[in-house]
Chains A and B, each alone.
With several copies, the nearest count.
Chain A
Amino acid sequence: MNDKDSLYQDAIKEFARAAHGHGQLAAATGEAKLDNPLCGDRVRMQVSVTSGHVAAIAHETKGCLLCRAAASVIGLHAAGQDANGIEAVAHDLEGMLQEGAPVPPGWPELSMFEPARRYPSRHGCVLLPFRALLAAMAESEMKRVQR
């Protein structure tokens, strides 16, 4: 199989296996649990945000390779980002999957999901950890302003 076109590239398998960021935070400022009711993928994402920027994340991800690999990319890259930055990546990633837009700048590893463009039913798997991260950050922000 041509690795560049294959959905299950080695990179995806390696990221899923590595599971960067897997675990729990001792002092999360925000948390979200999201699942995809139609396929059973499930992500629990915790963040610790200081001055509007991600200090750390941790996730527990049950799901397919695509979902686990995406969560792992977040584990590698999220630290230091603010909400706008994460939103932009999630938006660009959706564009990449659905309309063939370029790979989100600064997140070159996401190119490994390009073959998933052909499988609309799998887009949700890749996007779920990003949605969970955004939800966790929103929760963190809400708690902050309520304090």
Chain B
Amino acid sequence: MNTMDTPLRDGFPLLAASPDLHYLDSAATSQIHRSALDAVARHETTCRANVSRGTYRLAEAADRAYEQARQTVARFLNAGAAGEVIFTSGATASLNLVAHAFGNTLKAGDRVLISVAEHHSNFVPWQMLRDRTGIELALIPVTDAGQLDLARLPELITGNCRLVAVTQCSNVTGAWTDVATLVEAARKVGAKVLLDGAQAVQHGPQDVRALGIDFYAFSGHKCFGPGGVGVLWGREELLAKLSPFHTGGGMIGEVTPQATTWAPPPQRFEAGTPPIAQAVGLAAALEWMMTLDWQQIHARESRLCELLVDGLLRIPALRLLGPESSAARAPIVSFDIPGLHPHDICQVLDARNLALRGGHHCAQPLMAALGIDVCTRASIALYNDETDILALLDGLSFALRELA
């Protein structure tokens, strides 16, 4: 087991090669861990073959590696069975899959409940479903602190509510969603619950069964794995009832000119050649994550988050978005400084090797609810340390002078 005194930064080739870089944009994409990079290269140079169809040894090795990756993901999520894990090209693809495959089981007048805090990838697919089928799309508002206002649930989770689809953690405010309360309310009306875990996974293994949810979506590139791969987890009995979204090779029972039948899940939802090496790389990243002491990492991430929040609150006129308490948030910290545009701030910070993101962060409805167009975001991951935070606070003082 790794202890936090080992600088985790060393396991990340890009960071190891750039000692001066203060990478504070892990909410957009995390850096890739060496184990994932190595696993991809190893797979491509020793096991490369297409999966599910070949009988030669190389193809069997590819199959085995791919199915083992599925099992690793299942363990990372504490899923009931590996067959509940569908590999996709990313969280956005996972969410589109549910909006189509589950969406097609809904009829006009059924309600889907999302929140104003959703990333566009869990917002627009539901709007499209609404426009396509006439479902009702309802929005959980946010409190001033940017948290889902669950006090409003009683009026929002109506009897016709079939699905609650919300983020586990906001990619802007870092606010954690109170999933237990949500699930309880959803269960009362028989609604299913989808959790967008894109921001949560880089902060540790998950337990979809303890969460009590029905669907879970995330991306490999946000949890130290390769790009081009993501996951949709769904309950077995629910997946079994859904029709496919993408169609093509590998997901069929039989194809005739008249009609086509489907393979069982998860294959039913994996049309075409899947991202094989990327799934293997993702599994390697998750295996590595499962060796870590997450209590220690959370304590450390919270400490850094508090250091940052304390420093920010000392900047006159700065508006901190999201909850002040570090327990209520992942270490994602966004802020607005009236009169200074995030792009100018980020540009000045870049000259000091600080990598931060400014913009609407693919969350325009949330921006509107918070009364802003854009903001600046610093996101902290397990490879960050105090020097990153101090450099940022120092850089912000400089930016305030430089841009004034």
Judged by CB atoms under 8 Å, the answer to whether A and B touch is yes
Contact of A122 among B253, B343, B373 (CB under 8 A): B343
Q: How many whole Å from B316's CB to the nearest CB in chain A?
A: 19
Q: Which of chain A's residues has its CB closest to B350's CB?
A: A119
Q: How many whole Å from B164's CB to the nearest CB in chain A?
A: 28
Contact of B343 among A13, A37, A120, A125 (CB under 8 A): A125
Q: What are the residues of chain A within 8 A of B54 when measuring CB–CB?
A: 121
Q: What are the residues of chain A within 8 A of B55 when measuring CB–CB?
A: 39, 119, 121-122
Q: Which of chain A's residues has its CB closest to B367's CB?
A: A40
Does A44 sit at the interface, judged by CB under 8 A? no
Interface string of A11-51 (1 = CB under 8 A from B): 00100000000000000000000010111111000000000
Assuming the contacts A8-B348, A121-B55, asked whether A37 and B373 have C-beta atoms less than 8 A apart, the reply is: no
Q: What are the residues of chain B within 8 A of A7 when measuring CB–CB?
A: 347
Q: What are the residues of chain B within 8 A of A62 when measuring CB–CB?
A: 373
User: Do residues A121 and B359 form an inter-chain contact, with CB atoms below 8 A?
Assistant: no
List which B202-238 residues lie within 8 A (CB) of chain A: none
User: Do residues A37 and B263 form an inter-chain contact, with CB atoms below 8 A?
Assistant: yes
Does B314 sit at the interface, judged by CB under 8 A? no
Does A95 sit at the interface, judged by CB under 8 A? no
User: Do residues B359 and A38 form an inter-chain contact, with CB atoms below 8 A?
Assistant: yes
Report how far A147 CA is from B348 CA in the complex, Å.
49
User: Do residues A121 and B63 form an inter-chain contact, with CB atoms below 8 A?
Assistant: yes
Contact of B64 among A38, A40, A63, A120 (CB under 8 A): A120
Q: What are the residues of chain B within 8 A of A120 when measuring CB–CB?
A: 60, 63-64
Report how far A39 CA is from B52 CA in the complex, Å.
9
List which B350-404 residues lie within 8 A (CB) of chain A: 358-360, 373-374, 402-404
Does A65 sit at the interface, judged by CB under 8 A? yes
User: Do residues B358 and A39 form an inter-chain contact, with CB atoms below 8 A?
Assistant: yes
Contact of A8 among B59, B254, B373, B402 (CB under 8 A): B402
Task: Supply 23 A–B pairs (Cβ within 8 Å), ascending by A.
Answer: A7-B347, A8-B348, A8-B402, A35-B254, A37-B252, A37-B254, A38-B52, A38-B53, A38-B359, A39-B343, A40-B359, A63-B341, A64-B341, A64-B342, A64-B343, A64-B344, A65-B341, A65-B403, A66-B343, A120-B63, A121-B54, A122-B55, A122-B343
- Residues in B lying within 8 Å of A, measured CB to CB: 52-55, 59-60, 63-64, 252-254, 263, 341-344, 347-348, 358-360, 373-374, 402-404
- Residues in A lying within 8 Å of B, measured CB to CB: 7-8, 13, 35, 37-42, 62-66, 119-122, 125
Q: Which of chain A's residues has its CB closest to B374's CB?
A: A40
Q: Which of chain B's residues has its CB closest to A64's CB?
A: B341
Report how far A39 CA is from B343 CA in the complex, Å.
8
User: Do residues B347 and A119 form an inter-chain contact, with CB atoms below 8 A?
Assistant: yes
Q: Other CB < 8 Å A-B pairs besides A38-B53, A120-B64, A125-B343, 19 of them?
A: A8-B347, A8-B402, A13-B403, A37-B254, A37-B263, A39-B359, A39-B374, A40-B374, A62-B373, A64-B341, A64-B343, A64-B344, A65-B344, A66-B344, A119-B60, A120-B60, A121-B59, A121-B63, A122-B347
Q: What are the residues of chain B within 8 A of A41 when measuring CB–CB?
A: 343
Report how far A134 CA is from B374 CA in the complex, Å.
26
User: Do residues B253 and A37 form an inter-chain contact, with CB atoms below 8 A?
Assistant: yes
Q: What are the residues of chain A within 8 A of B52 when measuring CB–CB?
A: 38
Q: What are the residues of chain B within 8 A of A66 when measuring CB–CB?
A: 343-344
User: Do residues A42 and B373 form an inter-chain contact, with CB atoms below 8 A?
Assistant: yes
Q: What are the residues of chain B within 8 A of A65 when measuring CB–CB?
A: 341, 344, 403
Report how far A120 CA is from B62 CA in the complex, Å.
12
Q: Which of B54, B64, B342, B373 has the most CB of A within 10 A?
A: B373
Report how far A120 CA is from B403 CA in the complex, Å.
20
Q: Which of chain B's residues has its CB closest to A42's CB?
A: B373
Report how far A120 CA is from B373 CA in the complex, Å.
22
Report how far A37 CA is from B344 CA in the complex, Å.
17
Q: How many whole Å from B401's CB to the nearest CB in chain A?
A: 11
Report how far A122 CA is from B55 CA in the complex, Å.
7
Q: What are the residues of chain A within 8 A of B403 when measuring CB–CB?
A: 8, 13, 65
Q: How many whole Å from B399's CB to the nearest CB in chain A?
A: 9
Report how far A30 CA is from B357 CA in the complex, Å.
35
Q: What are the residues of chain A within 8 A of B402 when measuring CB–CB?
A: 8
Q: How many whole Å from B311's CB to the nearest CB in chain A?
A: 23
Report how far A90 CA is from B358 CA in the complex, Å.
26
Q: How many whole Å from B394's CB to the nearest CB in chain A?
A: 15
Report how far A38 CA is from B358 CA in the complex, Å.
10
